Structure 1
Amino acid sequence: MKIKLEQIFDFLKANREFNLRLQEQFFLPVLSVNGSVNPKVVNLLYHVANTQSQPKIDPLAEFYRSVYRNLDKTEGFASFVGLVTGKESLLFNDLYCGLREQRGWGKKTAALFTKVVYQAHNRLSANCAFWADTPSQISAQDEIWLPVDAVIIHIFEQLGMHKPNFDKINKLLKQHYVGNELEVWDDLWFWGFITQKGTGNTRQMQWNENKYWSLTHTDKNPMVISTIKQKSSEFIGLIEQKI
């Protein structure tokens, strides 16, 4: 497994441009509201929470009420962590843990929000940034979490993990990768999404151009699609090769 992880990590690291470009185009409209911080944070909270397949409306509504009662706490990273944990902090893991415990959120959604905060300030264009005190690095004392969904679970099934889930996948990655390296693994979703067909037990690994086209902000240039198709074949080969 370790050898395969290293090969996949090297692939993801060498091909960051494709998913980061997609992430920027996806989140820029969410964050390109008027210049003040509060609308950007609120927009992002709503947007990320609504990525859930079945958002829990009632508990989420109570969470939103709490945010609106404390809009001053959305002005900075540390103060927002204080809102969701009771203690200000500049650790991404504290942001994740605080959101995870909010009713209506949960592990995957909290991990996604935390990842977007990191990328918006450190990987995407300056137009995406909103909290001036966001750390520029994931320190050795800190960590982020991979937002694990069915796409990523299927990949780890193919890699031989028994009954993969959010906790098992993140535990495995954290045994081998730390700090900013963990954020690179977020690209796994992009390559997994466009190389899977079917659902549930019928999922198969193969280039799925229709899925690529289903993503609003993917580059529709034929030359780019051709390149990504070639890269996808390489990715599938890494997942399926026997070691």
Structure 2
Amino acid sequence: MTHLSVNINKIATLRNARGGNVPDLVQFTKDIESFGAQGITVHPRPDERHIRYQDVLDLKPVVKTEFNIEGNPIAKFIDLVLRAKPAQVTLVPDAVDAITSNSGWDTVKHKDFLKEVISEFKRNDIRTSIFVDPNLSMVEHAANTGADRIELYTEAYAEEFSKGNKDAVKIYTDCAKKAIEMDLGLNAGHDLSLQNIQYFKQHVPGLLEVSIGHALITESLYFGLETTIKRYLNLLKG
């Protein structure tokens, strides 16, 4: 079964919009895990507009499943990850002013930088994944960085799927096969939803984990958090 890691950034956004501690991020995390999710993802950004750096430290002793911290490996982020020591860190090349992640790493151009950062995390027993576009060359060269896994950026798939173009999954299938060939674990995320996740899962071999936040939280407004999580878990079986 592919593991579901729930990105809780949007819960933090809602809390920050009003001030105070409602909704309670820690309690929300406990509830998500109790409903069956196998991981919790956070993506702190330098301006702390949703997940705050302190949130990461507060969540560390609370998360009982896999804790995944995403972000651009600037010095402040690296220090945070080394303090929190999550199960996994996912490196994302997002700009400081990016609304959301919008591209993967150029694993050729940034190979030396990624190797240096990844080696530091691996020395601290933190599994490392790097965010990459669905590009065979980028996947192949990701293996040269020392990463344990890659996370395929799935926005293009989601957008095309919504238009009825199911063939958009083919490049992801090919990239998954390349990852297996290169002995890289495979994650995926961005704009995956209840509508498109099952087809993706069925056509992408070796998929270990999906990280889903915006869609899952939005769908929870209609169906409730527990029901939504259980629907994802059912779609990810097999």
TM value normalised by structure 2: 0.30
Task: Give the number of the structure whose residues are more often helix, by fraction.
Answer: 1
TM value normalised by structure 1: 0.30
Task: Give the number of the structure whose residues are more often strand, by fraction.
Answer: 2
Structure 1 or 2, whichever has the larger Rg, is 1
